[in-house]
Structure 1
Amino acid sequence: MAGILSNLRNTVITGFVLALALFVFYIYGAYSSAGHVGDALGSTAFWAFIVRWAHVLCGIMWIGLLYYFNFVQIPNMPNIPDEQKPAVGKVIAPAALWWFRWGAMGTIAFGIILAALNGYLVDAYLLGFTDNGASTIIGIGMWLGTIMWFNVWFVIWPNQKVALGIVDAPADDKPKAARTAMLFSRTNTMLSVPMLFAMVINQNAF
């Protein structure tokens, strides 16, 4: 077990193997007695489930790192001695930002595919105007998620590259870029609350 947990790659692979085992247990328990395993695996509902799982996994990575930046890293940077700050700016932050932006990309991509598989992609982005309001709430959540994704890739990341010295820029530009990245990161933190509310309530109508 220590050999698995001491290596991140092995840990992640083992997690997927356990999930696969759980899936096999579920699918055969639910469908084997009726002889419909093949039908289940070839259905749109099955692929929608796989895409939803990937969407949620990517979303956890994205929003988890968003909350890490806003609840842990940014508030505590002033408490870190100046001689130690380069370790954060040169090592921790770039690695976190890589997973952050690609988590955002995976979330939006799998979300769009999921909406298409379930047949509400256009209705949702039109905020329910074409289906008598049935897709309004999920549409609001999708628009908020899309705005947040745009902020990550076209505002936060470009400004973080300047602030962290990943790209060449005048020294005077770095504080402004850092503040812009922080403000849009805070914007995404704010938008994440109603976005997640819209996503969850859409799955739990009452």
Structure 2
Amino acid sequence: MARDPHRRESRRSRNRRHNPDGTMSLRDHLYDLRYRLTLAMAFLAIGAIFGYIWWSWEIWPGGSLGKIMIAPYCDLPASARPPGECKLLQTNPFESFLVRLKVGLGAGAVLTSPLWLYQIWAFIAPGLYAKERKFARRFVLFASVLFVAGAFLAYYVVPQGLQVLVGFGGDVFTTFFKADEYFSFILAMLLIFGVSFELPLVIIMLNQTGVLPYEKLRHWRRGFFFGLFVFAAIATPGTDPFSMVALAVAMVLLFEVAVQVSRVHDKRKARLEAGGEEDYSKLDDDDVSPLNLDNRRAEDDQPSPTPASPPKDKPGYDDVT
């Protein structure tokens, strides 16, 4: 069967190797969007399949995904759990399958995040300048690292939060968790902590673009601190103070790091402006660097020096009339 030459030419036009300036028509943008979304969904599906298998596959002793996710519940005191083996409650026949699929999809999305995030990056990259692509590449890298760090912090905060929550009843209650509600709580904590850890990147990005200078951050620091504690109290799904304080303190520290980075950036920018140096890194790729035409005009207005006439008594001088 012969291949469609129009489709081959369209695929070539979407390739930056054959189209270095990155210009595309609307049809090519839609084709590229469909292509990138298909790859991203494929990577998510592969990650979900791996997470589903990992649920009962012990990569290391006690390292199956199911045991890792249920560990915060098993770490509760024996008096707060039903006697016997540490297990969750299933109330309908399909609950275990749906929970396993949900947790596997979440774990697979985290593990394959560099792959599907690259597809998003590859779609928007042709519309950016070189310096913007460089900044966005760093943004995606640090965003992934901070999200994973926030998820790890949430995983270690959840057991302490559960102990506080189940401790309110004393020895009167025994804690039975439904599997779906328990894993939804765990995934919500991981997601909230991971997204909250992106705060410093947002502040640095606004500072780099000049929207949020360091002086405003310095004057609004107390208000930001209060707002972060209020946000942590509202965002955490549990009502325990331990999770709220842990999230708020972590966000305050990250906010302070972003403020100091903004201070260094604004100080460097002010030093360049005070020294009369032009920061050409802020120019777009299509712009031309400005020329100091005032000094050139001043030089042009100066009268040209008249060359001195050589003495007539100098040997070899010819008086030309």
Report TM bin, short chain: 0.3 to 0.5
TM-score between both structures, scaled by the size of structure 2: 0.25
Q: Larger Rg: 1 or 2? A: 2
Structure with the bigger percentage of helix: 1
TM-score between both structures, scaled by the size of structure 1: 0.34
